[in-house]
Structure 1
């Protein structure tokens, strides 16, 4: 690989808001080797790109691929040939050759953007404009690699609980589509601070990002940190774009659509599947690519539930795909025990981990009959890296094989209410084998 592209990666390390998070150009060391994070445009992964990732994981790493809770992919266990891996991924179109533009490509869409039967607004054109703005505007490269934007088109299938620095959510008033927006929060909990016509969405995003950079100190990497010291009303007054008041009391209502199994599209059918505990093998990724190419539209959609959707299948093809992917070890239904559990990398791959969460999650899942996907999260340390929002139940490691159990409670910060301490996975499983309503907010 030529020297010049690698040299272009260095300025991101001298950002006023540096990050230890991995990216395509920044391979971060972990206990099990290097980590490379591939930020996908709206979660979209073409079949040939999936095959390129599978090959990269085998050729340059230990064969472990992870689906993340921001609808991206990670390759773990990377060896010494970082330059070869980066060039391989760039050649597949999986990131910008301008390294400074890679970190800031943090835009979440519905996994079925443009296809969802319930969408009010096709977010894909605006999403492309926002990503182009982020990638090609040098000043915006001063944003933290964690600074994130959500664009919600009102789809049935949408993650509405992940917090974002800026979120936009479609509403209809008469014949016009508007975008409500909020700061340092999520559409599910609001509040909406205003709204603009959908055609002014890009101008609003630019104004908010530039307004943040005008005011934030280098230590203020996230919108919530700025607004802790700077009144939100004053921030809004300073924006270079005009906006209207949002409807009083507006909240984005979730449809609670399943994300595993056969999913409805505006036309056709989609199939949602998940690798156990978010980990894909190269064989799994190749099987997904083959089905997408043979029966779908040649694309895959990564989701914020650490799963994958194959869009645009015929119903009989979805049934055949379930059989093929289940044979590869993929989870294809919400009632599978492992679908109810998420877990961070744990002590086997992370030096900060206090417990082997992946192994303990398998033990725990075998005891659960909750029937609620993602109901329990195992975290090997208080950072809770693999969960962008608080799960209904969290097991926080305190030592190898021992956990404190928290139940989510909107009145209590952090993981919620401490239910019990110093439990084994088996003891936690016995306590968690309760009706679903015990895990409501």
Structure 2
């Protein structure tokens, strides 16, 4: 049986992607959970093999750029030694996001952090799941509504009773299960999707891409309930309001310790800044970092006074560690010169324009119409290079909703003014994936 992933172009740590500035490696970090020692190994790889930078992705993974064409074997050995390649055949399918502050503050119903490794192990233990594409996404949300808003293929949301509600895109209802059943449920859901995808006449890398004849349904939830001990079908839970990820800065202390969330402007960290974060975690924290889908790094386990000191130190080094920065909510694709398809140096244009356009709606800068890495789960301002300027538009959180134009082919000298106006515009409330499921269920009654 052919492997679905053969046609999936997502880069990995072993299958490098050729870009204009060299080769690119994407290292999956399930749940964003990264030991400080492994983080130091990534910094060394970026320095000795790449351009010395580490890019954070919209799924909390790490990218290394400007690698030579023959870097694959060396990089594999480094990642294996750091414990970042426990299952080489599955390395591209280890796409798991988890609430970054889970267990670190008083928000949420359940600490989902321990479930990340259990789900990852279950997926990697079965050779069949290696056929998942590099785009397929699992989300563990502790109940605060952050990762549940990221349009994952399999979402497990903690409920007030301490259990989990598993939902699938476009499928009414949910599967209620105890936390211990999360690995079995994620594995079973992946296999049911693969069976449907193989029966489809068209390629489908994600659940939402299945055509009507092969789409998952309430029968899928019933089959999952039969396969997963302790699980039962139930109505979809009332969704929490999407939180949009943690705010930058120290968290309120919990049990005498605090966490520090530092945003990386445009998701890029130099190896020096990366080492500084890893060293802070090793010396003063819990020994781990948490990469977030909002292109930030959480350092857990700090004494409150040390968290405040570190916030000031990192801010002086160019990271965002307090609210009110114009860089909050701002992202960009690679752009020129790293991407041959890009029509502009979007990162340079973003830096030039943002000083006059602080605050407001998130902004994402794209060098072409592909909009690689654009936000999900929130309304945002879309800035797409045209070659002579930028097209600006308001993109609703619902990807199916029509965008509203906010500027056509805006030249560079007008960008700050136009962008500031676009960021101030009111956004449309997000209809969550659960709203769509609820509407579908009501229409079917």
TM-score above 0.5: yes
Query: Which category describes the TM-score, using the shorter chain as reference length?
Result: 0.7 to 0.9
Mapped to 1, the partners of 2:111 and 2:365 lie a distance apart of 35
Mapped to 2, the partners of 1:221 and 1:257 lie a distance apart of 26
What displacement does 1:74 show?
Answer: 0.7
Match of 1:298 in 2: 287
1:213 to 194, 206, 220: 194
* Contact preservation (8 Å) 1:163, 1:388: no
Q: Which of 283-292 and 335-344 deviates more?
A: 335-344
* 2:248 corresponds to 1:260: yes
1:269 to 253, 258, 273: 258
**Counterparts of residues 139-288 of structure 1 (less than 5 Å):** 139-155=128-144, 158-173=146-161, 177-184=162-169, 192-217=173-198, 219-226=203-210, 228-231=212-215, 232-239=217-224, 240-241=226-227, 243-247=231-235, 250-255=238-243, 258-264=246-252, 266-267=254-255, 268-288=257-277
Match of 1:87 in 2: 77
**CA deviation profile, 1:101-158 (whole Å, cap 9, x unmatched):** 21111111011233232131122332222100111210111111111110112247x3
* Contact preservation (8 Å) 2:140, 2:148: no
**CA deviation profile, 1:14-51 (whole Å, cap 9, x unmatched):** 83332221111111110111111111131012221121
Mapped to 2, the partners of 1:269 and 1:29 lie a distance apart of 41
* 2:108 corresponds to 1:119: yes
Mapped to 2, the partners of 1:337 and 1:290 lie a distance apart of 27
SS at match of 2:327: helix
Mapped to 2, the partners of 1:437 and 1:170 lie a distance apart of 33
Mapped to 2, the partners of 1:106 and 1:385 lie a distance apart of 17
Structure 1 residues 409 and 154: CA distance shift in structure 2, 3 A: closer
Mapped to 2, the partners of 1:225 and 1:393 lie a distance apart of 25
2:385 to 397, 403, 416: 397
SS at match of 1:139: helix
Q: Which of 386-395 and 126-135 deviates more?
A: 386-395
* Contact preservation (8 Å) 1:341, 1:376: yes
Mapped to 2, the partners of 1:411 and 1:247 lie a distance apart of 22
Mapped to 1, the partners of 2:147 and 2:212 lie a distance apart of 25
2:365 to 378, 388, 391: 378
Structure 1 residues 171 and 303: CA distance shift in structure 2, 3 A: same
SS at match of 2:386: strand
**Counterparts of residues 23-172 of structure 1 (less than 5 Å):** 23-79=12-68, 80-96=70-86, 98-155=87-144, 158-172=146-160
What displacement does 1:279 show?
Answer: 0.7
Structure 1 residues 293 and 203: CA distance shift in structure 2, 3 A: closer
* Contact preservation (8 Å) 2:265, 2:330: no
What displacement does 1:257 show?
Answer: 6.4
SS at match of 1:56: helix
Structure 1 residues 275 and 323: CA distance shift in structure 2, 3 A: same
* Contact preservation (8 Å) 1:109, 1:150: yes
Structure 1 residues 142 and 411: CA distance shift in structure 2, 3 A: closer
Q: Which of 253-262 and 388-397 deviates more?
A: 253-262
Mapped to 2, the partners of 1:262 and 1:192 lie a distance apart of 37
* Contact preservation (8 Å) 1:191, 1:250: no
TM value normalised by structure 1: 0.87
What's the Cα RMSD here? 2.5
The unaligned stretches of length 5 or more in structure 2 are: 430-445
2:406 to 419, 437, 441: 419
Mapped to 2, the partners of 1:90 and 1:234 lie a distance apart of 41
TM value normalised by structure 2: 0.86
**CA deviation profile, 1:223-258 (whole Å, cap 9, x unmatched):** 112264335234334434364444566212345664
Structure 1 residues 276 and 411: CA distance shift in structure 2, 3 A: closer
SS at match of 2:184: helix
Query: Between Structure 1 and Structure 2, how many residues are aligned?
Result: 417
* Contact preservation (8 Å) 1:361, 1:425: no
Match of 2:432 in 1: none
Mapped to 2, the partners of 1:204 and 1:388 lie a distance apart of 27
* 2:16 corresponds to 1:16: no
The unaligned stretches of length 5 or more in structure 1 are: 1-13
Mapped to 2, the partners of 1:163 and 1:285 lie a distance apart of 29
Structure 1 residues 54 and 221: CA distance shift in structure 2, 3 A: same
* Contact preservation (8 Å) 1:340, 1:365: no
